[in-house]
Amino acid sequence: MGDRPRPSFGPGGRLTVLVAEADPAVREALVRTLSPRFGMVFTARTGAEALVLFERCRPDLAIIGARDPDPGAATLLVALRQASRHLPLFLVGAAGDVLDVFASVAVSGVRPLLRPFDPSTLVEALEEAALDVSARRSVGEAWELVKFFLDESPHPAVILSGSEVVSINRAFLRFLGLTTFHEFKERGMALERFLVDPLPDGGVAAFARRLVEDRLDREHRLRLANPKRPDLPPHVFQAVAARLPGRDRWLLTLSDITELELERRELLDLANLDPLTRVFNRRKLGEILGDEVARADRYATPLAAMMLDIDHFKAINDTYGHDAGDAVLVELTDRLGVVLRHVDRLARFGGEEFVVVAPGIGLEAAWDLAERLRRTVAEHTFTAVGRVTVSIGVAALCPGETGEALLKRADAALYRAKDGGRNRVEASMPPTSCDG
């Protein structure tokens, strides 16, 4: 027993113990044995006194006499266990008295100390329990320290045990519009409720595990809707996860990169979009066309391209001014977008010329789509200038043909539409080298 580490908590540097014993001689003997080893020993003659002392002093261990009166040992044990789930409880007395108490009530974690007992045996049993209390407190203090540092962090963080959220730091609570973790639990909330993008089965916990197990160390992002401002775009977070000690415990930390993401998108827009019409620019068109030609060749699927030009656009600028001409270009792309499929790509080729890349359709279907585009424009009254028409040339990809060659044939068909009277669609016949 001399090698056993001593607990070091409570007043006076060690743990405290409550002794509830009606017999003065037994009570004094317990006090003499325990006082050198515990920071404070509180004594009570009755169960009622013991309950008052417990509420006032909150001892770390409790020793209850089996023959304690008012309200009785059984009732006192039940009350103490209800008050503290982890409080070590000892029932001391003659064997018959202890058995009577155990026969009348079942209370978890009560350890018997039978009289007469050897003081060394008593101390060993109590110090064993005290070590458990010390270990639990160490874990509790470590947990509080972890929560303190997480609360001081400006980055939202959450601790998960299995699929259950066991802690959320202050920064995350502020984002969710809450003040305490208790409020989060009381409302029965779940983090998945705020996610914009779908997650794998298992929700946020599965996402955290996937991050830790990602050997490629890729960037992982989460988009969360701000419950305080549902009218705003979702916040974008860079997510990092770490495995914590214990079974299936994870720390998920989020860094708000919304502003960086907006800047990144603005840069992409500058690189890929026409600043006036907000459709793809000519540089991006080259990438799109190259990708679609490669995909069509790989999977032997059809691909079509259309070259579209606004009729008499110079006259529009000369008559109504360049501002009105710009307005026509913007309004035109809006009208075309109503007809185009979600897989079609619209790009401004230059001036008043536009290109449509249409995957998955051949020449006949592409001609039908172009005709719908032509009618949609012709039937629309443009705000600044009234009626406007377009001419369209259509071409379908031949096996082995390049994207540039496909566009060149669509452009040639466009000029035939212009020469044929405008406001019409012309299709390019496949070259003689095209065996499809």
The 3-state secondary structure of the chain reads CCCCCCCCCCHHHCCEEEEECCCHHHHHHHHHHHCCCCCEEEEECCHHHHHHHHHHHCCCEEEEECCCCCCCHHHHHHHHHHHCCCCCEEEEECHHHHHHHHHHCCCCCEEEEECCCCHHHHHHHHHHHHHHHHHHHHHHHHHHHHHHHHHHCCCCEEEEECCEEEEECHHHHHHHCCCCHHHHHHCCCCHHHHECCCCCCCHHHHHHHHHHCCCCCCCCEEEECCCCCCCCCCEEEEEEEEEECCCCEEEEEEEECHHHHHHHHHHHHHHHECCCCCCECHHHHHHHHHHHHHHHHHHCCCEEEEEEEECCHHHHHHHHCHHHHHHHHHHHHHHHHHHCCCCCEEEEEECCEEEEEEECCCHHHHHHHHHHHHHHHHCCEECCCEECCEEEEEEECCCCCCHHHHHHHHHHHHHHHHHCCCCCEEECCCCCCCCC
Whether 432 has a pLDDT exceeding 70, the answer reads: no
Residue 432 lies in a domain: no
pLDDT at position 433: 62
Domain total for the chain?
Answer: 3
Whether 361 has a pLDDT exceeding 90, the answer reads: yes
237 to 18, 234, 435: CA distances (angstroms): 51, 10, 52
CB atoms closer than 10 angstroms to residue 236: 21
In this structure, are 315 and 388 located in the same domain? yes
The segment with the largest mean pLDDT, out of 82-86, 183-187, 218-222, 393-397, is 393-397
CATH classification at residue 35: 3.40.50.2300
Whether 216 has a pLDDT exceeding 70, the answer reads: no
Longest pairwise C-alpha distance within the chain:
121
pLDDT at position 2: 44
In this structure, are 291 and 413 located in the same domain? yes
Is residue 34 within 8 Å of 41, Cβ to Cβ?
yes
pLDDT at position 12: 35
CATH classification at residue 175: 3.30.450.20
Domain boundary among 116, 143, 170: 143
Residue 389 lies in a domain: yes
Task: Say which residue, 377 or 94, is predicted with more confidence.
Answer: 377
Q: Which residues of 40-58 are buried (b: 16+ CB within 10 A; e: fewer)?
A: bbbbbbbbbbbbebbeeee
Whether 422 has a pLDDT exceeding 70, the answer reads: yes
pLDDT at position 367: 97
Whether 136 has a pLDDT exceeding 90, the answer reads: no
Mean pLDDT of 266-279: 85
Q: How confident is the model at residue 145 (pLDDT cuts 50, 70, 90)?
A: confident
Domain boundary among 231, 260, 289: 260
Task: Say which residue, 47 or 418, is predicted with more confidence.
Answer: 418
In this structure, are 287 and 391 located in the same domain? yes
In this structure, are 302 and 254 located in the same domain? no
pLDDT at position 8: 45
Whether 436 has a pLDDT exceeding 60, the answer reads: no
Quote the percentage of the chain above a pLDDT of 70. Answer: 94
Mean residue pLDDT of the chain comes to 87
Mean pLDDT of 386-403: 95
pLDDT at position 249: 85
Task: Say which residue, 281 or 246, is predicted with more confidence.
Answer: 281
Which among 387, 292, 295 has a CA at the least distance from the CA of 332?
387
Whether 196 has a pLDDT exceeding 50, the answer reads: yes
Residues belonging to the active site: 352
pLDDT at position 227: 80
In this structure, are 17 and 139 located in the same domain? yes
- Give the structural domain span for 137: 11-143
Whether 313 has a pLDDT exceeding 50, the answer reads: yes
Whether 1 has a pLDDT exceeding 50, the answer reads: no
Gap between the terminal Cα atoms of the chain: 93
Lowest mean pLDDT among 107-116, 125-134, 149-158, 353-362: 125-134
pLDDT at position 11: 37
Mean pLDDT of 115-140: 76
Task: Say which residue, 325 or 214, is predicted with more confidence.
Answer: 325
In this structure, are 278 and 410 located in the same domain? yes
Whether 260 has a pLDDT exceeding 90, the answer reads: no
In this structure, are 410 and 305 located in the same domain? yes
Mean pLDDT of 378-393: 96
Quote the percentage of the chain above a pLDDT of 90. Answer: 42
Mean pLDDT of 259-267: 78
Mean pLDDT of 47-67: 90
In this structure, are 225 and 309 located in the same domain? no
pLDDT at position 386: 95
Whether 5 has a pLDDT exceeding 60, the answer reads: no
